[in-house]
């Protein structure tokens, strides 16, 4: 079965939560405080997603859900931006990275976002993700978001994409 990108359904929530936890472990262990990762469980992620739902596309293959992207047609208030869309999360399991799925997932999200400007935040020091976003046309703005945790601070870099909007946008 080839990989399919589609809107998340209720039945996908456990798979999405498992990918979230595993992708964070694969990507962030050693970059963010261990207490943050150690407290992350699929059950906690499911509860958070139910409490704060967001539009989400999933990547599905024969092995199940292997990635997802969450997005907001209108950027969240903390960004301080108006007339801007936001990509709030984009994760793929390490086992499927390098197959072009990240690009396909990003393009699928961008195809449904209404604004010319799209913002995202990426963990400072996550060089691989920063390079991917730059390859996709995003540029650092120089702004950061700092989050204090029990184990120390996490700093995210703000990145912005300025794009042309086609007269026809794809829908899923």
pLDDT tens per residue across all 172 residues of the chain: 699 999 999 999 999 999 999 999 999 998 888 888 998 999 999 999 999 989 999 999 999 999 999 999 999 999 999 999 999 999 999 999 999 999 999 999 999 999 999 999 999 999 999 999 999 999 999 999 998 877 778 899 999 999 876 544 555 5
- Please give the span between the terminal C-alpha atoms of the chain, in angstroms, as a whole number: 19
- pTM of the full predicted structure? 0.91
3-state secondary structure of 29: strand
Quick one: which H or E segment has residue 96?
Answer: none
């Amino acid at each position: 079965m080839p990989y399919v990108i589609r809107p998340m359904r209720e039945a996908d929530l456990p798979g999405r939560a498992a990918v979230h936890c595993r992708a964070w472990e694969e990507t962030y262990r050693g970059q963010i405080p261990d207490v943050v990762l150690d407290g992350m469980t699929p059950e906690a992620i499911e509860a958070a997603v139910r409490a704060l739902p967001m539009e989400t596309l999933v990547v599905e293959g024969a092995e199940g859900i292997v990635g997802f992207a969450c997005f907001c047609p209108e950027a969240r208030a903390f960004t301080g931006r108006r007339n801007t869309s936001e990509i709030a999360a984009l994760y793929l399991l390490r086992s499927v990275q390098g197959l072009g799925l990240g690009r396909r997932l990003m393009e699928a999200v961008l195809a449904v976002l209404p604004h010319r400007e799209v913002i995202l935040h990426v963990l400072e020091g996550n060089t691989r993700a920063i390079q991917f976003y730059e390859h996709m046309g995003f540029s650092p703005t120089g702004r950061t978001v700092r989050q204090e945790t029990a184990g120390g601070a996490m700093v995210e870099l703000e990145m912005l994409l300025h794009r042309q909007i086609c007269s026809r946008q794809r829908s899923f």
